[in-house]
Structure 1
Amino acid sequence: MTEETTQQGEDLREQTAEAAPEVAAHDRVAELEAQLAEARQATLYAQAEIQNVRRRAEKEAADARQYAATSFARDILSVADNLGRGLAAMPAELRADDKMKGLVGGLEATGRELDGVFARHGITKIAALGETLDPNRHQAMLEVPSDEPAGTIVQEMQAGYMIKDRLLRPALVGVAKAAG
């Protein structure tokens, strides 16, 4: 090799050595920018997940407050049913008796108060008679031959109730079937 070739090789090595730190620094900056973008994206996902968890927790808490009385309400419905059956079974002559008027009036007032408590807590009676059977609100117990269109509720054996927008207890009903 000639001296000139050797000199050119050394110059080339020097240029490459000078350029290498710039290339390495540029690669390092690009790598750090990519890591920063990835960290920002992960932060956004984490914030979105936290917001979703918070919303779910708020909804569950609201549902718990709104429907907390569901179990108690189911239990008290049997009391309301028995009170209603007792009043309905009382003969008219007993209702007219002066000795029984206080008792009858007290039982009727208790029934009205119970209805008022139900209303304050969002418990409503499900309409049944004359309605078309809705399996989400009514439970068909029997079919009755009738002139009514098939599927129409013609008899109610037990009232159904809703608590706000949820079924508390389905109405037990008799449904019309085609005569013949």
Structure 2
Amino acid sequence: MDDISPTDAEALREETAQASPELAEHDRAAQLEGELAEARQATLYAQAEVQNVRRRAEKEAVDARTYAATAFARDILSVADNLARALQSIPEELRGDDKFKGLVVGLDATGREIESVFQRHGITKIAAMGEPLDPNRHQAMLEMPSDAAPGTIIQEMQTGYMIRDRLLRPAMVGVARGPE
């Protein structure tokens, strides 16, 4: 069988093809159906990937718009802190003094305006006093003996802020320590 000439091999192939044209046609149809199924599957995967990329891009664009002011907001927090400290440091007797009344009223108005701007941009203060310590929102700076339950915030050293649902700056707090 090893000594078949190339012309004999070709003749044998032609005979087989003529003997079973339906079989060859069926094999070709099955092959084409398989290729079609693969092409459909590849198309579905490509469409799903395009849709995922589009959704991801839309979410990133929304996040960029929502949180674009984060760095600026962090910088402005120190201004708000300094203004609040200035207002707290004004003694009551000076608040009523006619010489300082305009200054005090102006500082109060500026403080309210900053709070209003923060509110418009989704920047909110983090509640701290009396709350249990939440490491996602509070930064414990010290523990102090207290009658409060251990882990309860009993002192706020610096106000914390959120920008929408993200932490902008944690509240720096003092926490009640358990009995020794």
Work out the percentage of aligned pairs sharing the same amino acid: 75
Gaps of 5+ in 1: 1-13
> Structure 2 CA distance, aligned partners of 1:112 and 1:37?
66
- The alpha-carbon deviation at position 20 of structure 1 amounts to 2.8
What is the aligned residue count?
168
> Structure 1 CA distance, aligned partners of 2:34 and 2:175?
69
- The alpha-carbon deviation at position 36 of structure 1 amounts to 0.6
The residue that corresponds to 1:118 in the other structure is 118
The residue that corresponds to 2:177 in the other structure is 177
- The alpha-carbon deviation at position 17 of structure 1 amounts to 5.1
- The alpha-carbon deviation at position 18 of structure 1 amounts to 3.2
> Structure 2 CA distance, aligned partners of 1:125 and 1:119?
9
> Structure 1 CA distance, aligned partners of 2:115 and 2:86?
16
> Structure 2 CA distance, aligned partners of 1:71 and 1:17?
75
Q: Which has the larger radius of gyration?
A: 1
Gaps of 5+ in 2: 1-13
TM-score, L = length of structure 1: 0.89
1:46-71, Cα deviation, whole Å (9 max, x unpaired): 00000011001100110011000000
The residue that corresponds to 2:78 in the other structure is 78
- The alpha-carbon deviation at position 92 of structure 1 amounts to 1.2
Kindly indicate whether residue 152 of structure 2 is the aligned counterpart of residue 152 of structure 1.
yes
> Structure 1 CA distance, aligned partners of 2:17 and 2:120?
85
Q: Is the 8 A contact 2:138 2:171 kept in 1?
A: yes
1:7-29, Cα deviation, whole Å (9 max, x unpaired): xxxxxxx9855333222121111
Letter in 2 for 1:152: T
The residue that corresponds to 2:98 in the other structure is 98
Show structure 1 runs of 4+ deviating over 4 A: 14-17
Kindly indicate whether residue 139 of structure 2 is the aligned counterpart of residue 139 of structure 1.
yes
The residue that corresponds to 2:28 in the other structure is 28
Kindly indicate whether residue 56 of structure 2 is the aligned counterpart of residue 68 of structure 1.
no
TM-score, L = length of structure 2: 0.89
